[in-house]
Every structure is written in structure tokens, then in C-alpha cells.
């Protein structure tokens, strides 16, 4: 039994459109997207879809990048990506629905055991609606079928990885142990991110993809932007915050803290912190001092 109240709200909104439709939802499944395209009157040629594509979310099945191919086939719609998107809103001319529902079968009630969702009608000219749409215009980037195929391929590899089950989708479950970099050679990250991994071994590739899923970096970035995003993510780690505050990080002390948390063995902690040091050397302005207990210090070494 289904309760498609939300779908009926959305359907009536779209059927009433005369010149413009905007679809904004973090999670969009391809069957719902096709149903939306089939509902929008044929005379509407200005259709914009804004969503986000996360490697972990695609692998978890909550979002389908194939909507880019559906949009290209339809010919009327364009898809854009906004990585920090959480808003859900649907615009038809000057009418708008805002609320909690993504474009998924569970959210719209087109599948059994539907989510409990809410959509309220508002004027699309409302200042808050316009604020969100303006922010999307400034930060969103085009989504292409090529990028969609790359992310689907990477997500499929991640799904086949038994170790990937520990990756957490933000807001959906609690992490058993916090993330530290796994890939021993950080220079591989951007190559794999851009799909250049044909000569990378299966086990190594799996580790790189796990790191990329944990980093949750927006797709399609240039290498400099990618490095800046990795650097920002690293600076959120407690060890790197310590390095930033005092200018040095004792790997011995950091290892003791990890072991003391009860979720890391001595060998795991040693390896994780050595890897963190390599990442910091590659992505940030630090150097290792291998005298006595290892230390990471800010800045490049004096030569």
C-alpha cells in the first residue's frame, strides 16, 4: 500500500507550469526523475535540476547520477551539482513547494512504506527561496553524462569492496572509528578521482576509493582545487589541529592517544599516523623530523 500524497502535490505543481521548472533535491533517483520529466508539459523547455553527487551516497543507492543521461535524452533539462545542498524545493513559474521530500520513491510515496515527508506551497518570489536559488547559481557546476558514468563506475567498485561498509554517509549513521588517511601514496588520489586508474592494482584502488568517499570532495574539480579541498579536510582532524596550534605534532604522543581510544591497535595507529604524515607533506606545508620520536612540524625544512 502506498501513500502518494507528496507525489500528487508535486505532480499538480508541475502540470501547472507554463514556462519554467526548477527541481532542487540532494537525492534524486532516475525513475522519479523520468516521472517528473514525463509530467512536465512538453512546451516547457526551461527545466533546471540541482542535486549533489557523493561517491558514498551513490554507492549506498540513495542517488542516481544517470539522471544526467535522462536529461540529455529529454533535451529540455540541464543538471547542475551543488555539493553542500540540503534544501528541497520545487518551482513552477511563481509557485513553489518547499519541505523535506527528495525525488525518491520513498520520499514521494510512489513506493510502499513511504517516508513521512512535508511539502508546503510558497511564492517562488519569497526572499528565502530567492536566497537559496541565488546561492545555488553562485556555487553549482554543470553535471555531464561523462562525469555521471565515472562516478557510477567508482561507486560500483566501492560497492564490491568488503571494507567499504564502514564508510559513513553524513547524517545516516554513527562512525565506529574516526577516519584517518589510508592510501600510502597521496599522489594517486587525484588521478583516481579523475578516472585514471587502469594500471592501479585492485587492492590499492579500493583503498584510494575508500579515502575519496571519506573525503567527500565535490566532483569535477581541477587539481589545485582538489588539493585545497583535501587540505581543508585534513585540517579538521584532531592531530592536524594540534599541529596548527603548537607548530609540531609528536607522532609518538598521537599514537598513544589513538591506542588509548580502544579502537586502534599499535600497528594500525603507527601506520595511520605515518600515512597522515605523507599526506601532510604532499598537500600542506610541513616536514617530518625523524630524530627520536618522529615529529611533524609546520613549514618546509631549511636546506
The verdict on 124 and 93 lying in the same domain is: yes
288 and 181 share one domain: yes
First to last CA, the chain: 72
266 burial (CB, 10 Å; 0-12 / 13-18 / 19+) is exposed
Cβ atoms of residues 294 and 252 within 8 Å: yes
Tell me which of 146, 171, 186 is where a domain ends.
Answer: 146
Taking residues 9-32, what's their average pLDDT?
A: 97
Are residue 135 and residue 16 in the same domain, yes or no? yes
What residue ranges in the chain does DSSP mark as E strands? Answer: 21-24, 47-51, 77-81, 88-92, 95-99, 119-123, 141-142, 248-250, 286-289, 295-298
Does residue 238 form part of some domain? yes
Answer whether residue 152 is part of any domain. no
Provide the CATH number for the domain around residue 37. 3.30.870.10
Note whether 166 and 70 are same-domain residues: no
Q: Is residue 156 part of a domain?
A: no
| Cβ neighbourhood burial of 165 (10 Å; 0-12, 13-18, 19+) | exposed
Residue 9 is predicted with a pLDDT of: 97
9 shares its domain with 111 = yes
- 124 with 226, same domain? no
Do 179 and 221 have their domain in common? yes
Instruction: Among 98, 123, 146, identify where a domain stops.
Output: 146
Both 133 and 200 in one domain: the answer is no
Q: Is residue 115 in a domain?
A: yes
pLDDT, tens only, 108-137: 999 988 999 999 999 999 999 999 999 999
Domain annotation covers residue 36: yes
Q: Measure the CA–CA gap between 270 and 120, rounded to whole angstroms.
A: 53
Whether residues 118 and 168 share a domain: the answer is no
pLDDT at residue 302 is higher than 50: no
The whole domain housing 26 covers 5-146
CA nearest neighbour of 18 among 41, 34, 50, 36: 41
- What is the band of 190 on the pLDDT scale with cuts at 50, 70, 90? very high
Q: What is the reported pTM?
A: 0.87
Question: Is 68 part of any domain?
Answer: yes
Secondary structure (3-state) at 87: coil
242 domain-assigned: yes
Could you give the number of structural domains in the chain? 2
**Boundary of a domain, candidates 146, 170, 201:** 146
User: 190-199, 205-214, 251-260: which has the minimum mean pLDDT?
Assistant: 251-260
HSE toward the beta carbon, residue 46, CA cutoff 13 A: 9
Which has the higher per-residue pLDDT, 166 or 279?
279
121 and 210 in a common domain: no
> Are 107 and 40 in a shared domain?
yes
Read off the pLDDT of residues 56-82 as tens digits, 9 standing for 90 and up. 999 999 999 999 999 999 999 999 999
- The average confidence (pLDDT) of the chain is 89
Rounded Cα gap, residues 170 and 172, in angstroms: 6
Distance CA 199, CA 197 (A): 5
7 vs 105: CA distance, rounded Å = 9
The candidate with the shortest Cα–Cα distance to 90, out of 119, 62, 116, is 119
Tell me if 153 is assigned to some domain: no
183/80 same-domain check: no
Amino acid at each position: 500500500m502506498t501513500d502518494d500524497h507528496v507525489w500528487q502535490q508535486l505532480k499538480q505543481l508541475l502540470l501547472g507550469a507554463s514556462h519554467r521548472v526548477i527541481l532542487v533535491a540532494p537525492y534524486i533517483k532516475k525513475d522519479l526523475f523520468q516521472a517528473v520529466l514525463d509530467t512536465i508539459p512538453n512546451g516547457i523547455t526551461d527545466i533546471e535540476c540541482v542535486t549533489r553527487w557523493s561517491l558514498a551516497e551513490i554507492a549506498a543507492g540513495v542517488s542516481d547520477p544517470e539522471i544526467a543521461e535522462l536529461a540529455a535524452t529529454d533535451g529540455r533539462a540541464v543538471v547542475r551539482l551543488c555539493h553542500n545542498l540540503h534544501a528541497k524545493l520545487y518551482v513552477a513559474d511563481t509557485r513553489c513547494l518547499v519541505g523535506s521530500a527528495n525525488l525518491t520513491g520513498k520520499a514521494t510515496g510512489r513506493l510502499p512504506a513511504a517516508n513521512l515527508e512535508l511539502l508546503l506551497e510558497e511564492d517562488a518570489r519569497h526572499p528565502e527561496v530567492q536566497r537559496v536559488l541565488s546561492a545555488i547559481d553562485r556555487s553549482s557546476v554543470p553535471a555531464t553524462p561523462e562525469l555521471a558514468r565515472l562516478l557510477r563506475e567508482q561507486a560500483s567498485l566501492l560497492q564490491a569492496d568488503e571494507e567499504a561498509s564502514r564508510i559513513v554517509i553524513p547524517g545516516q549513521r554513527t562512525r565506529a572509528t574516526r577516519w584517518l588517511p589510508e592510501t600510502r601514496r597521496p599522489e594517486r588520489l587525484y588521478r583516481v578521482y579523475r578516472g585514471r586508474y587502469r594500471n592501479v592494482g585492485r587492492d590499492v584502488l579500493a583503498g584510494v576509493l575508500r579515502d575519496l568517499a571519506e573525503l567527500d570532495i565535490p566532483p569535477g574539480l581541477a587539481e589545485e582545487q582538489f588539493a585545497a579541498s583535501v587540505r581543508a579536510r585534513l585540517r579538521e582532524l584532531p592531530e592536524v589541529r594540534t599541529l596548527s596550534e603548537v607548530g609540531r605534532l609528536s607522532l609518538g604522543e598521537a599514537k598513544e592517544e589513538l591506542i588509548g581510544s580502544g579502537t586502534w591497535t599499535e600497528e594500525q595507529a603507527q601506520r595511520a599516523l605515518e600515512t597522515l604524515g605523507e599526506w601532510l607533506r604532499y598537500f600542506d606545508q610541513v616536514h617530518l623530523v625523524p630524530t627520536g620520536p618522529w615529529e611533524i612540524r609546520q613549514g618546509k625544512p631549511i636546506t
